[in-house]
Amino acid sequence: MDNQSTSPQIIFPNVPDDFCPTGNWSEVLQQFIDTTLANGTINVPGLGDVTPAEITEINAQLSSQQLEIDALDIRVDALELGSKTITRTGTISVATGNSTLNITFAELPSADYGISVIPIGLPTSRATMGSYVVQAGQTTTGFNILVQDNPATVSTLRWTAIHTS
């Protein structure tokens, strides 16, 4: 009966016709339990399909997966603790036309950092925007910006260097 396609069931035998216990309530209840309820069965479809070897294999896989999860948690914790962002920011005046601007700042741990350059000017600046290019060869203490065709409406560049370790 352990391989049925029905829902799980609790099955008890019928109470015998001649069941007529005597005594106080607790004795009668105990005789009912011993005669009827003790002979009940639980029928769970598919329960007999899983072998002890398969259960052992499933438990081993679960244990292995838990070890992998624990290892990932440790790696994430290490990343969160070790991650540090350092920024340097400032502004520099820019002349009309072409120029090279030398940006310097307090030393960063390495020359591997991101750079953001934002032109600051009048509302008409966008229509006549120049070109602002970070020159190759940035160092731990600075970088150069090549300016081409800067309009008179842009007077300042805001720069930011972002280093993440």
Domain containing residue 93: CATH number: 2.60.40.2080
pLDDT single digits (tens) 16-59? 888 888 889 888 888 888 888 888 888 877 777 778 888 899 99
pLDDT single digits (tens) 63-120? 999 888 888 777 666 665 656 888 999 999 999 999 999 999 999 999 999 999 999 8
- The reply to whether 119 and 148 lie within a common domain is yes
Q: Give me 56's structure tokens.
A: 């052992």
- Domain range spanning residue 90? 85-164
What b-and-e string marks burial along 7-27, b requiring 16 or more CB atoms within 10 Å of the CB? eeeeeeeeeeeeeeeeeeeee
pTM: 0.50
Task: Answer whether residue 161 shows pLDDT above 90.
Answer: yes
4 lies in a domain? no
β-bridge mates for residue 119, sequence order = 157
1 lies in a domain? no
Residue type, 60: A
Residues 8, 44 contacting (CB under 8 angstroms): yes
Q: How far apart are CA 63 and CA 57, in angstroms?
A: 10
- Choosing from 39, 59, 81, the residue where a domain stops is 81
Q: How far apart are CA 109 and CA 118, in angstroms?
A: 24
3 lies in a domain? no
The total number of structural domains that make up the chain: 2
The owner of tokens 């842009």 is 154
- Choosing from 53, 81, 109, the residue where a domain stops is 81
Q: How far apart are CA 55 and CA 22, in angstroms?
A: 46
- The reply to whether 102 and 133 lie within a common domain is yes
Q: How far apart are CA 48 and CA 57, in angstroms?
A: 16
